[in-house]
């Protein structure tokens, strides 16, 4: 089948490459000239394990093409995926839907045949209905159906989550033909026995928003409990293990630390709250405000721990920050807790050196005043305190003895509870969380 993916950022590039892997002929549309040039050469302008090889293989084979032309897209095929960004509006909690809207405004008037538009971008409930109404206004003697097929990708596992997802969700309008086409597109996945949930568009939009809200709530819950454990002298990791054995709770996402970040959870829960308010259901999601507050408070708390560990002041202190990405196996620093903490510590008078295996370039673009190192040893050179803020494997597996001759003081703050406390203490380090 011929498929078009509009927006070749993280979501779109992954989806396009994986659809080509399934044997479809795919056209990707990207308006950013720098990103487009890289994609045409088979290069991925961000870090995602396995994606560069997959994308280049299908660019080279001719199964995947990229363009900046909506005219070319309109004539390519009959199925169009919307995979553009929905960032948070400046100064507001609501999602900015200008990129999603522009797809309909630019594409639909060019269509000369019936088409199915499948939304994958994360949008507020009611967006599909609004887009469908607008598409009907713009369509010229053709039938354009809009349906919603939300994504559930985890950065670092995007290919796996696309090719072997834990579920597929399709929201369609009554009487539409989206289900049959979508089943054909995803036939290899459905044949594996993956649940395929067909519902209305509003429910499909809310599935994505609700999933992110639940994950954010679970993370903030264990971080709130971590504050109580700290006050009581209890072990939050042991507590999480104990309650995680309850199948109604589960152990995943019960890792206390400096909280969640990235380009999805923070802005998505805020957009969810904003949309609930527009619908007159603001009271239903008031708990998400505290989820957000707990998450942001963890960053401030980490700065306080660093200050306490250094005797009450960070002025003139050499600080090594290990990790800048919001999570391992990613170079994404959008709303990164690690980078936020680094910036706050610098503002309190410390000299801060950051090292991340993949996110240094993106970090420099946001915080050019921080110093950056090319290795753990370089970052820790003459450090008075070392903060581990992203749980990359190379940090989890660090041998503290290797740092003993490099640092000025043996103080480590385990912001992700990913280190072996006993090992670090036996190496002469003072360990904080």
Q: What is the DSSP string of 300-367?
A: HHHHHHHHHHTTS--TT-EEEEE--SSSSS----TT-HHHHHHHHHHHTT-EEEEE-TTTHHHHHHH-
- Integer CA distances (angstroms), 125 to 200, 207, 213, in order: 11, 10, 14
CA–CA separation, 201 vs 118, rounded Å?
Answer: 11
Check: CB of residue 238 under 8 Å from CB of residue 61.
no
CA–CA separation, 98 vs 259, rounded Å?
Answer: 29
Positions marked catalytic: 264
CA–CA separation, 15 vs 35, rounded Å?
Answer: 16
Residue with tokens 């700065």: 303
Structure-derived torsion over alpha carbons of residues 207, 213, 216, 217, reported in degrees to the nearest 10 = -120
How many Cα atoms sit within 13 Å of 334 on the Cβ side?
15
Radius of gyration for the chain, computed over Cα atoms and rounded to the nearest angstrom: 23
Alpha carbon 259 to chain centroid, angstroms: 13
Check: CB of residue 128 under 8 Å from CB of residue 201.
yes
Find, among 213, 155, 108, 196, the residue nearest to 11 by Cα: 155
H/E element, 296: helix 286-309
Beta-strand ranges (E) seen in 55-148 are: 64-67, 79-82, 115-119, 144-148
Find the angle CA(277)-CA(281)-CA(283) to the nearest 5 degrees: 90
- Integer CA distances (angstroms), 405 to 373, 379, 430, in order: 18, 13, 15
Q: What letter does residue 139 receive in the DSSP assignment?
A: -
Can you give the length of the chain in residues? Answer: 433
H/E element, 413: strand 411-414
Q: What is the DSSP string of 53-76?
A: HHHHHHHHHTSEEEES-HHHHHHH
Beta-strand ranges (E) seen in 154-275 are: 168-171, 196-199
């Amino acid at each position: 089948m011929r498929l078009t993916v509009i927006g070749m950022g993280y979501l779109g590039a992954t989806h396009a490459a994986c659809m080509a892997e399934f044997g479809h002929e795919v056209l990707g549309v990207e308006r950013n000239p720098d990103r487009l040039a890289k994609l045409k050469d088979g290069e991925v302008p961000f870090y995602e394990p396995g994606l560069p090889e997959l994308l280049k293989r299908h660019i080279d084979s001719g199964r995947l093409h990229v363009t900046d032309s909506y005219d070319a897209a309109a004539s390519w095929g009959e199925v169009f995926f919307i995979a553009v960004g929905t960032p948070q509006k400046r100064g507001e909690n609501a999602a900015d839907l200008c990129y999603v809207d522009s797809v309909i405004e630019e594409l639909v008037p060019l269509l000369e045949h019936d088409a199915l538009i499948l939304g994958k971008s994360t949008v507020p409930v009611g967006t599909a209905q609004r887009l469908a109404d607008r598409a009907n206004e713009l369509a010229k003697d053709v039938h354009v159906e809009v349906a919603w097929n939300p994504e559930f990708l985890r950065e670092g596992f995007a290919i796996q989550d696309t090719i072997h997802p834990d579920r597929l969700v399709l929201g369609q309008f009554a009487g539409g033909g989206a289900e049959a086409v979508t089943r054909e597109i995803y036939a290899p996945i459905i044949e594996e026995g993956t649940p395929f949930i067909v519902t209305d568009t509003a429910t499909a939009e809310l599935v994505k928003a609700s999933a992110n809200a639940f994950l954010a709530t679970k993370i903030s819950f264990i971080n709130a409990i971590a504050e109580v454990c700290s006050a009581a002298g209890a072990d939050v990791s042991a507590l999480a293990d104990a309650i995680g054995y309850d199948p109604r709770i589960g152990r995943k996402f019960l890792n206390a630390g400096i909280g969640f970040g990235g380009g999805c959870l923070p802005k998505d829960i805020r957009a969810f709250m904003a949309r609930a308010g527009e619908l007159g259901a603001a009271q239903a999601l008031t708990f998400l405000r505290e989820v957000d507050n707990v998450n942001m408070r963890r960053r401030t708390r980490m700065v306080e721990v660093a200050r306490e560990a250094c005797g009450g002041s960070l002025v003139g202190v050499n600080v090594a920050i290990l990790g800048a990405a919001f999570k391992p196996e990613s170079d994404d620093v959008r709303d990164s807790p690690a980078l936020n903490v680094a910036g706050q510590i610098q503002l309190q008078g410390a000299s801060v050196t950051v090292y991340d295996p993949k996110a240094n370039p993106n970090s420099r673009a946001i915080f050019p005043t921080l110093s950056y190192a090319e290795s753990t040893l370089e970052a820790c050179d003459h450090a008075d305190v070392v903060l581990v803020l992203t749980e990359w494997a190379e940090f989890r597996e660090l041998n503290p003895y290797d740092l003993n001759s490099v640092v000025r003081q043996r103080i480590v703050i385990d912001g992700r509870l990913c280190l072996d406390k006993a090992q670090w203490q036996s190496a002469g380090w003072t360990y904080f969380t």
